[in-house]
Amino acid sequence: MIGSGVEHESRAEEVGRLLAERGCKVVTGGLGEVMAAAMRGAKAAGGTTIGILPGTSRSDANEWVDHAVATGLGHMRNFAVAASGDAVIAVGGSWGTLTEIAFAKRLGRPVVILEPGLEVDGVDRAATPEEAVDFVLARVEHPS
């Protein structure tokens, strides 16, 4: 799950909860806003969360991260976020989210943008959190 923006937190939390309820681990960039909301939703549903952090300290992770990976890569950690999941759901976002979408597409991962979201040619869109989760899970063989 990728993205940013406080105005998108409620939808991100719902995505995290739905993924966890379906048995998925939730991977994000491990920081605030949408990332924290998705992990909060996953934890509320008993899920497991993984945060791929830009800095060198695992203590930078939000409180809902079960497993923190401190990369020390700054924005370059966006590749690791995209590569660590079986699929990508984008909620809100800006330039960093755009790079993660591009990396995920390049890696052949299923990608869906939850409305309203970034305008990216060639990327599928979902109207609801449920539709976004159904979309990606229908396209992965063994979600984790």
Per-block mean pLDDT, blocks of 10 residues, the chain (144 long): 97 98 97 97 98 97 98 97 97 96 97 97 97 96 62
DSSP state of 14: H
CATH class (in words) of the domain with range 2-137: alpha beta
pLDDT score recorded for residue 121: 95
Distance between CA atoms of residues 79 and 51, nearest Å: 13
CA neighbours closer than 13 Å in the CB half-sphere of residue 77: 20
The pTM of this model reads 0.95
pLDDT score recorded for residue 123: 97
pLDDT score recorded for residue 13: 98
- Bridge-based pairing state of the strands 111-117 and 124-126: parallel
Nearest to 48 by CA among 26, 69, 28: 26
pLDDT score recorded for residue 143: 56
